[in-house]
Amino acid sequence: MMRELLVEALSHTARRFAGALLKGRWLLVSCCFLVVWPAAAAERPDTGMSGVYEVMVGVSDAEPALAYFAEFGFAVVAKAELSAERAATLYGVDSALTSWRLQNGEVDAHGLLRLLEWDDPTGPGLGLAQPHTVGMRMAVMRTRDIFRLADVFTDLREQAIQPWLLAGPVYDDLYNATEGLPSIVNRRVGVREMAVYGQWFNHVFFQRYGYSIPGYGVIGDHAPLGTSEFTHHDFVVAGDLGEVTAYYESVFGYISENDPQIDGDWLQGPQAIFIMEPGRSHWYRGFVSPNDVSGKLKFFSLEGLHEIDDRSARQRPGEIGITLHSMWTPRLDLVHRLAMDAGIEPGPITANEFEESSFLLHGPDGVYWQLIQRESSAWPAVTEFQLLDVNN
């Protein structure tokens, strides 16, 4: 089962590494060998941490954002307000705040959305940026029809309703699983994905062919665009990935995947999604919670760029766009202590706008987190992948 966990947890844009990872312990990367070592179990405390619970998005006007995400199947399940004084205490932002928590269908364990409507935003956030911009955050969801979404965003782009940058769709062979020559009977098994970069939100969509994973990427009839909860979360960061992301193991208790280099010269997935020029490469590292393999984390650090556009200072509470993420755990005190032991200096444990015991944390990778005390969820956690064949 660890085989399926490793492969599915890898970024869809890193699929072609999966076959090499499963065939041996060595990878040939940029003319040198990379040794793949599993994370030591002793380095991962039992924190009870969920996968990523919410993508938290700053907006200046929630009404159009609520209408926008309703098309993807998200509906409001909670609303709360904070005075400017209390928002300053909780988030360090001197602005009144109205928050909406949105959920996609029945999935309440991971993949939710929180809109943070600031009366007085502190800045525009990253804005529309190239995919390699440091500080960029991307939220990923499954779809039934990726070409329909490509048509929708192409129309929005051409009508100049909003400036969108489209990348893909592009197809990748999952696990190199298509045996022999594809035919009407011997159909491909794989995934097709597309990225859509905007001024205040960045999407990645993927569609599966020939396989299914029950409970992971759940699409219901309530979603007009045929899309699921958020299943993956991508981050472009600066620095050595082994150093700046170490706290996901030692503080959060996540399982570390391997960190291959993704070379845009020969991997068509990342070449398309990240709009990578020849010779450009990414280093990749992924993490997954042992308590829920949904809500995965994927980090990319750049190589081979003469100039790096670093907008990470604009990825903070109070700005517009994806500025925070949340997780929940029944052991909040333990996670807070582990963060202090790691020298990260978490904020104090206090009630957030939904009166949930929580604290903020700003990691060395530049990511802002809200950790929330919660005992359990109604939606059962997916703790291992069940890859099932689908005849399509």
pLDDT digits (tens, 9 = 90+) for 170-207: 998 766 777 788 899 888 888 899 999 999 999 999 99
Q: How far apart are CA 100 and CA 322, in angstroms?
A: 14
Its CATH architecture, for the domain 54-373, is Roll (3.10)
Q: How far apart are CA 386 and CA 369, in angstroms?
A: 30
Residues contacting 248, CB < 8 A, separation 6+: 254, 256, 287, 297
pLDDT at 39: 41
Which of 42, 5, 44, 45 has the alpha carbon at shortest distance from 21? 5
Q: How far apart are CA 59 and CA 117, in angstroms?
A: 5
Domain map (residue ranges) of the chain: 54-373
Which of 294, 312, 293, 317 has the alpha carbon at shortest distance from 302? 312
pLDDT tens readout for residues 300-343 = 887 644 467 888 889 899 999 999 999 999 999 999 999 999 99
Neighbours of 367 (CB within 10 A): 24
Which of 309, 354, 363 has the alpha carbon at shortest distance from 335? 363
Neighbours of 379 (CB within 10 A): 19
- For residue 337, the number of C-alpha atoms closer than 13 Å in the C-beta half-sphere is 6
Residues contacting 343, CB < 8 A, separation 6+: none
Q: What is the DSSP string of 130-153?
A: -TT-BT-EEEEEEES-HHHHHHHH
pLDDT tens readout for residues 233-277 = 999 998 888 899 999 999 999 998 765 555 555 567 777 888 877
Which of 368, 369, 364 has the alpha carbon at shortest distance from 239? 364
The percentage of residues in the chain with a pLDDT greater than 90, rounded to a whole number, is: 60
Instruction: Judge residue 116's burial from the number of C-beta atoms within 10 Å of its C-beta, 0-12 exposed, 13-18 middle, 19 or more buried.
Output: buried
Neighbours of 83 (CB within 10 A): 11
